[in-house]
Homo-oligomer: A and B are copies of this chain.
Amino acid sequence: MGRPRWLSAEEKRAWTAFRTTATLLHQRMDQQLKRDAGLSHLQYEILARLSGAPDGELRMAELACAVSNSKSGLTYQIGQLEQAGLVRRRACESDPRAVYAVLTDEGTALLEGAAPGHVALVRELLIDVLTPEQLRALADGLGEASRRMLADGDTSAGCL
């Protein structure tokens, strides 16, 4: 990499907007979910992922990867959610090492109660602010960016 290619004005504008939006959006989601359902944004995502999986269960490693969290971090959060009765652990019969996290009925109920408000906020703060062209560009551009980052397992430490 020869001399650094600095960002043009528009590039810097895009980068700043991206960072700011990501940070503020995360804060707002956290706030709202904590208030409405007593969940952190991360916990909500965990439940949502489980809800979308067949039988409402996923292996710990898969789940950690899905929410881009470290293994130990997930162990901690599943512990919290289990205490709250929203999730339970299930041993895998074929592989004693593996553990499934399973969404309980309480978890499902809480998620269904929280989802509408969550979606509404996502709309209000991001989706409905964008024009259709901007929406498509965002989906395409960021989709490609995230795909690439997920692809090269070298730098990404596997899936953490």
Contact = CB atoms under 8 A, between A and B. Distances in A.
A139 B24 contact: no
Contacts of A6: 119
Nearest to A148: B129
A130 interface: yes
Contact of A142 (B5, B14, B123, B148): B14
Contacts of A4: 115-116, 119-120
Interface residues of A, number: 56
Given A137-B137, A141-B131, A149-B25, A126 B18 contact: yes
A131 B133 CA distance: 13
Contacts of A99: none
Given A134-B140, A141-B131, A15 B149 contact: no
A21 B144 CA distance: 9
A125 interface: yes
Interface string A1-27: 101111100110111011011111111
Instruction: List the 7 closest A-B pairs by CB distance, nearest first.
Output: A137-B137, A134-B141, A4-B116, A17-B142, A14-B139, A22-B22, A20-B146
